[in-house]
Chains A and B, each alone.
Chain A
Amino acid sequence: MARFQAQTNAVIEEELADLRGRLGLRANQRADLLREIASLASWVVRQAEAGRRIEARRGRDVEALRNPTLDRLRERRNAGVVGRIALSDSEVERLAAVLDRGFSPTPALRKALSRLAATKRKPPKLRWRDGAA
């Protein structure tokens, strides 16, 4: 673990030094470098939290920013309580098939509907695995 961490730290240091040079900062401007990085990262995270996808564009050339952490943030937002559900073309095709079908409820749905229609519906009695009765 320590070796892995040492290697990781070395890689990060190298990347930071590279970034520092490209941003035109001197070796003693570490705080400025971190401030710049924090500012950029904060903007990126804010976009992902808003459910937005980040893309670099030049003419027809488009490159999307891909990162598992950002994907999780975006999914958390998109899978949350949303007012608008935007469907892709393939999802629209599948939806059309769903709405085209005649009514043929599955056995489980039929049972659920009949239970819901019952005047006295029985809630389940639970047994907790940690011993609470």
Chain B
Amino acid sequence: MPVRVVPLTRHHRPLLKGFQNQHASLVEYLQRYALRHAEKDLLARTFLAIDRTEGGERIAGYFTLATASVERRSVSAIEALDRLPQFPIPAVLLARLAVDDRAKGQGLFLFEEALGLTIELARTGPVALRLFVTDAIDGAAVRFYERFGLVRLADGYPCRMVLDLKPLAGG
């Protein structure tokens, strides 16, 4: 049976502890914070890719979306600023994207889901959005996002990457 993507709710709690990923922080976020951020704090919403196997349902992957505003750290004069929209710039942050290490090959699908939800929101939502932002955790993640046109803003890790939503949202 193909995977289905659904918003995380408390009903998924029993499935959370079975999730495995090489990055402990990605597992920890799902198991400790995602539900709280989604239901109690209303900071971010997490979407699960759920696969039904013979042993029952499993979380094959997840992604987390939050709103963010992009601001300047300094107040120094920068020539490029003339060409930028006014700060702060509204954005959607892909805060997490992870797949279970035992069921790879669905990262693309999850990323498309996250991007699709973002574009939909940018096109028809009640607020304006200009950027799709993510923090790539390592070199493999950077290469993955670069394939979709995301551009890295820094050289270290986690590496902040952005995609301009204007042409995608019909602006």
Give Cα distance in the complex from A3 to B83, angstroms: 61
Contacts A/B (CB < 8 Å), 12 sampled: A79-B25, A81-B43, A81-B66, A85-B93, A86-B72, A96-B80, A122-B2, A126-B105, A126-B106, A128-B53, A128-B102, A133-B53
Given the complex, which residues of A lie within 8 Å of B84, measured CB to CB? 92, 95-96, 99
Give Cα distance in the complex from A78 to B1, angstroms: 37
Give Cα distance in the complex from A75 to B79, angstroms: 30
A97 within 8 A of B: yes
Asked whether A112 and B112 contact (CB < 8 A) given A85-B70, A91-B154, the answer is yes
Q: Binding site of B, secondary structure by majority: helix, strand, loop or mixed?
A: mixed
Residues of A near any B CB (own CB < 8 A): 75-76, 79-101, 103, 105-106, 108-109, 112-113, 115-116, 122-130, 132-133
CB distance from A90 to the nearest CB of B (A): 8
- Tell me how many residue pairs across A and B have CB atoms closer than 8 Å: 151
Given the complex, which residues of B lie within 8 Å of A129, measured CB to CB? 101-103
The proximity string for B residues 152-167 relative to A, scoring 1 for CB distances below 8 Å and 0 otherwise, is 1110001010111011
B168 within 8 A of A: yes
Residues of B near any A CB (own CB < 8 A): 1-5, 25, 29, 33, 37, 43-44, 49, 51, 53-55, 58, 60, 64, 66-74, 76, 78, 80-81, 83-85, 88, 91, 93, 95, 101-103, 105-106, 108-109, 111-112, 115-116, 119, 133, 135, 137, 147-149, 151-154, 158, 160, 162-164, 166-168
Given the complex, which residues of A lie within 8 Å of B153, measured CB to CB? 87, 91, 94-95
Identify B160's interface contact among A81, A91, A130, CB under 8 A: A91
CB distance from B92 to the nearest CB of A (A): 11
